[in-house]
Amino acid sequence: MSDTTSIVIFGASGDLTKRKLVPALFSLFCKDRLPEDFQLIGMARTDYDSEAFRNQMKSAMQEFAPAKFIEDEWDRFAEKVHYVCGDFGEEHARVELRERLRATEEANGGRANRLFYLATPPSVYESALVGLGETGLAQQDRGWRRVVIEKPFGRDLASAHHLNEVAHQVLDEEQVYRIDHYLAKETVQNLLVFRFANSIFEPVWNRLYIDHVQITVAESVDVGHRGRFYDGVGVMRDMFQNHILQLLSLVAMEPPASFNSNDIRNERVKVLRSLRPMRKREVAENSVRGQYRGYLDDPGVAEESKTATYAALRLFIDNWRWTGVPFYLRSGKALAGKTTEILIQFRSVPHLMFPMEPGEQIRPNQLELCIQPDEGMHLRFEAKVPDTNATMRSVDMEFHYADAFGPGAIPDAYERLLLDALNGDPSLFTRADTIELAWGLIDNILAAWESDPQPPLAIYEPNTWGPKEADEFIAADGRAWELGCAGRRS
């Protein structure tokens, strides 16, 4: 007798499966990290049989993850891959899926664990959850049952709350794994290690030493072929509600009591609870919304769309550690480069004893956490220029993952997520309360953006770092956006 672990992907003929899920599962297989008797069952309406699905996945591996593709290993992996053609709402497809599961589970005879992955369009999440309830497939007997739900989880607080209710009718919260792939990026996980496995940063990680924090998630890609989807979503829902608020919570959280998932998630959610609520009339002065020139010509975008492809926000966390420290967040598409970075700007020295020209100042220390693509960090401090009396220059102390751990040491986030879901560790997934708190904040901002008089929509040129209004926004506080990791471009 041996245990079976079945991974069932709903929406298996879509992009996510071939670009992310199958490469991640195959890589885990090659590293011998998948359970011994696992099977992967893809399910979708596209008319494949198992053989055709395997061939599609093989071509996808060769196209999207060629460096990870190993022919012999693939043949062993492919033996465990099956496909069920049909809509999960239809009886015949349900019967076929149940039989496919049972065939292996009964042959093995041991515990039957099942991981269901909703890689479908979000409009189908609810019916998939209901279907799991109706079929009893997610009922925990003879093994665990878990359900992974991709983002976006809802499009506002009301829809996210409703989806949570539907999920909780079928599953316990412990069985629900809501994806935010940023949480599983190696550099994001490292925020916990950096802050809580080193003693030198924590004493200065507060309002007494930190002037402000910037989080930048810049993308050079425009919305491309995703126009129809994106136009109904915009940057606030697409990037801020999830990825950026999660980065913020990791930077700002208190030390958790342990590495246990609930302890960590409790601290993350406390940050969101401490965010100063923004009243409608305060939104305009605390945000900038922008759209890149040319967006309206992208396929699928409404003619006079006001959807923001760029946003900058100023947030405050009202607690003992952070009161008075502004957190500036920005993200956009069609920018001059792809970079995700967190900048901690320390306060200036309290007294300057060095001879300086009138008005001359020294630059405060900065810590730049480079999330991607050049993963690492830089610490900026002042150094005396040799052979001068006391001329100073800023220099960097740098750490790069590629130098310290070798090139290719960083796995794709989906490897971590799939492995954790299989192992029952939800630390890097978003809990129901967190999702709803985040939506509450974003709803307020969107409501203010969408009600009359609407705040202006700043048009920016593609291939720049965003609208000049965003520079003016932060300049009004006597500060400037900085891009340390992306080569101090701005």
Nearer to ligand BG6, 219 or 231 (CB): 219
* Contact present, 201 and 315 (Cβ < 8 Å): no
Total residues at the site for ligand BG6 (CB under 6 A)? Answer: 3
Give me the residues paired with residue 289 across strands: 311, 457
Does 238 interact with ligand BG6 (rule: CB under 6 A)?
Answer: yes
Tokens read off for 446: 């969107």
H or E stretch including 96? helix 91-108
- Cβ density class 252-271: b for 16+ within 10 Å, e for less: bbeebeeeebeebbbbbbbb
Does 219 interact with ligand BG6 (rule: CB under 6 A)?
Answer: yes
Nearer to ligand BG6, 238 or 341 (CB): 238
| Least gap, CB of 151 to ligand BG6 (angstroms) | 6
| Least gap, CB of 242 to ligand BG6 (angstroms) | 7
Q: Radius of gyration over alpha carbons of the chain, in Å?
A: 24
Q: Provide the CB-side half-sphere exposure for 404 (13 A, CA).
A: 9
| Least gap, CB of 440 to ligand BG6 (angstroms) | 20
- Of all residues in the shown chain, the one whose CB is closest to ligand BG6 is 238
Q: Can you tell me the distance from the alpha carbon of 337 to that of 483, in angstroms, rounded to the nearest whole number?
A: 11
Does 375 interact with ligand BG6 (rule: CB under 6 A)?
Answer: no
Does 150 interact with ligand BG6 (rule: CB under 6 A)?
Answer: no
| Least gap, CB of 215 to ligand BG6 (angstroms) | 13
For the chain, helix (H) and strand (E) counts, in that order, are 17, 15
Number of residues assigned to the chain:
490
Nearer to ligand BG6, 93 or 313 (CB): 313
Query: What is the contact mask toward ligand BG6 in residues 177 to 216, using x (rule: CB under 6 A)?
Result: ----------------------------------------
Return the residue matching tokens 């203010």. Answer: 448
Does 412 interact with ligand BG6 (rule: CB under 6 A)?
Answer: no
**Going edge to edge, which strands form the sheet with 376-384?**
392-400, 376-384, 366-372, 339-346, 210-218, 326-332, 310-316, 287-292, 457-460
Residue 471 DSSP SS3: helix
Q: Can you tell me the distance from the alpha carbon of 481 to that of 474, in angstroms, rounded to the nearest whole number?
A: 7
| Least gap, CB of 417 to ligand BG6 (angstroms) | 12
Nearer to ligand BG6, 56 or 216 (CB): 216
Name the catalytic one among 162, 243, 351, 400.
243
Nearer to ligand BG6, 83 or 182 (CB): 182
Q: In 37-138, which ranges are E strands? A: 38-44, 81-85, 109-118
Q: Provide the CB-side half-sphere exposure for 319 (13 A, CA).
A: 14
Whether residue 225 lies in the annotated active site: no
* Contact present, 40 and 82 (Cβ < 8 Å): yes
Nearer to ligand BG6, 267 or 368 (CB): 368
| Least gap, CB of 86 to ligand BG6 (angstroms) | 28
Q: What is the contact surface with ligand BG6 in residues (CB under 6 A)?
A: 151, 219, 238
Give the residue numbers marked as catalytic.
243
